Amino acid sequence: MNGISLAARLVARGRVVAFTGAGVSAESGIPTFRGRGGLWERFKPEELATPEAFARDPARVWAWYKWRLSLVLSAKPNPAHLALAELERMGLLTAVITQNVDGLHQAAGSKRVVELHGSLRRARCTRCGFKVRLSRVPEEELPRCPACRGLLRPDVVWFGESLPADAWLEAVELASSCKCMLVIGTSCAVYPAASLPLIAKRGGAALVEVSLEATPLTAIADVSLRGRAGELLPLLVDEVKRLISR
């Protein structure tokens, strides 16, 4: 039996949770972090994605996030995002837990999305915590809070910062109680997010990985599909439909 058929059998049982990373948005034109052409090839995370970097040079950090927000605002969900939304509509997928900050799962129609690392489409005030929705790229070099004029920051989780407690608790609950975790487009390099597939496996779930390259998870995955999520996930959904229509 090939990988897609085995994965389809596991997904067709239901109680599936998807855990996604930058690879699921690659075919929407959003650069990934690692690997060829990745963001960390051109930029240093410690210089852009840490509170210290923002304190040191907020204008530089804002310029980088504005560039990424402009990419996201003009990006469209790709067939991988749409396939996951379809599995949710079919009642097989409970939620998507994402490390991504691009909002493309919601744009594809996914209803239950847990954003572990925040969102590029929101800013929050460093003084009063006020949250601002960013539907366009802010013009100001240093965007200000509409409530108290304090300095706004991207509402994402930087290295060294803890994850939003509610999102993390929900993610652990989902991982511990699912029957199958679809791990899509992540290098499983960043913690604590990368511990979620291990939590799922410990809870008895089957792990189905979809990634262009092997990752630390590959060795313990029940199925590891090598290729583009935008091509493989629609094939998986078609095979699931064939299975449940028999």
Nearer to ligand BV8, 155 or 239 (CB): 155
Shortest spacing between CB 163 and Zn ion, in angstroms? 22
**Contacts of 221-224 spanning 24+ positions with Cβ under 8 A:** 221/183, 222/6, 222/10, 223/3, 223/6, 223/7, 223/10, 224/3
- Position among 3, 11, 17, 21 found at the interface with ligand BV8 (CB under 6 A): 21
Rounded Cα–Cα distance for residues 41 and 34 (Å): 7
Q: Which residue has the tokens 């995955």?
A: 221
| Tokens found for residue 161 | 């910062």
| CB-neighbour burial class of residue 123 (10 A; exposed 0-12, middle 13-18, buried 19+) | buried
Q: What residues from 26 to 65 belong to the interface with ligand BV8 (CB under 6 A)?
A: 26-27, 32-35, 38, 49
Q: Is 153 helix (H, G, I), strand (E, B) or coil?
A: strand
Annotated active-site residue 81? The verdict is no
One of 68, 105, 117, 228 is an active-site residue; which one? 117
Shortest spacing between CB 142 and ligand BV8, in angstroms? 18
Q: Strand ranges (DSSP E) for 87-130?
A: 93-98, 113-115, 118-125
Q: What residues from 75 to 134 belong to the interface with Zn ion (CB under 5 A)?
A: 125, 127-128, 130
> What's at 228, amino acid-wise?
R
Binding residues for ligand BV8, rule CB under 6 A, total: 35
Helix/strand/coil percentages in the chain, nearest 5: 40, 20, 40
Q: Which does 125 bind (CB under 5 to 8 A by kind): Zn ion, ligand BV8, none?
A: Zn ion
Nearer to ligand BV8, 176 or 218 (CB): 218
Q: Is 144 helix (H, G, I), strand (E, B) or coil?
A: strand
Shortest spacing between CB 142 and Zn ion, in angstroms? 13
Nearer to ligand BV8, 57 or 161 (CB): 161
- Position among 12, 113, 210, 221 found at the interface with ligand BV8 (CB under 6 A): 210
Q: What residues from 74 to 93 belong to the interface with ligand BV8 (CB under 6 A)?
A: none
Rounded Cα–Cα distance for residues 159 and 120 (Å): 15
Binding interface with Zn ion (CB under 5 A)? 125, 127-128, 130, 145, 147-148, 150
Query: Which positions lie near ligand BV8, rule CB under 6 A?
Result: 21-23, 26-27, 32-35, 38, 49, 99, 101, 117, 156-162, 185-187, 189-191, 193, 210-213, 215, 228-229
User: Active-site positions?
Assistant: 117
